[in-house]
Amino acid sequence: MKIIMIAGDGIGPEISAATKEVLQAVNTKFKLGLQIEDEIAGHASLKMHGATVTEALLNKVKQVDGLILGPMSTYDFKDEAKGEINPSKFFRKSLDLYANIRPAKTYQGLRSPVSDFDLIVVRENTEGFYADRNMEQGNGEILVTPDVAISLRRITRQCCERIARTAFELAQSRKKHVTIVHKANVLKIADGMFIDICHQVGKEFPEVSIDDFIVDAMAAHLVRAPQKFDVIVTTNMFGDILSDLTAELSGSLGLAASVNAGTHHAMAQAAHGSAPDIANQNIANPYSLILSAAQLLEWYSHRSGKSEFGQAAKAIADVATSLILSKEVTKDIGGHLGTKETGAALAKGLLALD
């Protein structure tokens, strides 16, 4: 398996280094034949190439099996005409990574404000209200006058069908329960279509139960009783917001893993930002990117039919869980280790497996 790793901005280089150490350990343990090549994007690329991300890099990514994208200073990148392109958007759109899969669960030994839960938010990733990716050309936001702005939301049958199928396939291997989240009480046409299509796809999975909630009510239910949910499927913006909520409910946004998956490509990406205020201090939690890399291995296992990659992904998650319990982790989740030491502890735990 060939992987391109982009360290990113802010805390990106630190958590990427920890992630690479973990991948090297699991590569040794499971004989995966991983080949990891470092590349740059974000501020480093802007300085070197005049753009935060380049077509040459995209072409290289298309030739490998997966991409690991470290956190990017997305808010800094405002003018694409000056090469300030959002790398995350660029790869999601260019590689058609339509499914953003964000698991969240509670961990023994880590305090959570809610009851124990284990769920996945399946977020459509290529349309919705996201103005930088929902048009073939141009932008989905228009400034009509200095005092009037319009934002367009795109919802298509194709995107609804494929994100629904992703959710039901995941549920089939879990607790067989899909929850559709929407705002059809006011977005009657677009979200009405989303609900209808999810139910149509659901008929192909008769063992999976289906319910649906309006997004604001869903936020309340997740805080009150997250253990009632299994796989949550929703549109782009709602999924972005709810997955941050579920990550925080699990104990820390530093545990928020995600993979952006398409038919032919996938990108592991921590769900949090570049956190420049704590960069270069060896205190950032690397688990979000490490667990995202594990998801990438799992995706490749299904795509390639090579079970050892799935076994490696499970091993990373299992050792991470045990280290959280023993508090051999960063301070934000109750430990005493730095970023580098946390990665080293996880790598050591993997190499010590029977």
Between the two ends of the chain, the Cα-to-Cα distance in Å is 24
C-alpha to C-alpha distance for 149 and 174, rounded to whole angstroms? 43
Selecting among 89, 93, 107, 130, the annotated active-site residue is 130
Q: Is 348 a catalytic residue?
A: no
C-alpha to C-alpha distance for 6 and 190, rounded to whole angstroms? 36
Selecting among 93, 107, 240, 300, the annotated active-site residue is 240
Spell out the domain ranges in the chain. Answer: 1-98+256-354, 112-250
Q: Which pair of structure tokens corresponds to residue 12?
A: 């990106």
Q: Is 147 a catalytic residue?
A: no
CATH of 112-250, one of 3.40.718.10, 3.40.50.300, 3.30.420.40, 2.130.10.30: 3.40.718.10
- The number of C-alpha atoms within 13 Å of 333 and in the hemisphere containing its C-beta is 36
Q: Is 68 left (phi over 0), alpha (psi -120 to 50) or beta?
A: beta
pLDDT in tens, the chain (354 residues): 999 999 999 999 999 999 999 999 999 999 999 999 999 999 999 999 999 999 999 999 999 999 999 999 988 898 889 999 999 989 999 999 999 999 999 999 888 888 899 999 999 999 998 877 778 888 889 999 999 999 999 999 999 999 999 999 999 999 999 999 999 999 999 999 999 999 999 999 999 999 999 999 999 999 999 999 999 999 999 999 999 999 999 988 889 899 999 999 999 999 888 999 999 999 999 999 999 999 999 999 999 999 999 999 999 999 999 999 999 999 999 999 999 999 999 999 999 998
Alpha-carbon separation of residue 339 from 57, 130, 273, 330 (angstroms)? 28, 33, 16, 7
C-alpha to C-alpha distance for 38 and 11, rounded to whole angstroms? 16
pLDDT tens column, 47-106: 999 999 999 999 999 999 999 999 999 888 988 899 999 999 899 999 999 999 999 999
C-alpha to C-alpha distance for 133 and 140, rounded to whole angstroms? 8
Q: Is 132 a catalytic residue?
A: no
Report DSSP state, residue 10. Answer: T
Q: Which of 27, 49, 71, 42 is nearest to 272 (CA)?
A: 71
CB-based burial, 314-332: b 16+ in 10 Å, e otherwise: ebbbebbeebbeeebbbeb
Q: What is the pLDDT of residue 91?
A: 95
In sequence order, which residues have a C-beta less than 8 Å from that of residue 333 and are 6 or more positions away? 110, 251, 252, 254, 255, 285, 287, 324
Alpha helices in 121-189 (DSSP H): 157-172
Q: Indicate the pairing of strand 2-6 with strand 66-69.
A: parallel
Domain 1-98+256-354: which CATH class?
alpha beta
Selecting among 38, 116, 211, 216, the annotated active-site residue is 216
Selecting among 76, 244, 318, 332, the annotated active-site residue is 244
Selecting among 93, 183, 191, 287, the annotated active-site residue is 183
Is residue 216 within 8 Å of 234, Cβ to Cβ? no
| Entry pTM | 0.92
Same fold, 1-98+256-354 and 112-250: yes
Q: Is 230 a catalytic residue?
A: no
| Residue 205 identity | F
Helix, coil or strand: residue 353: coil
Q: Is 130 a catalytic residue?
A: yes
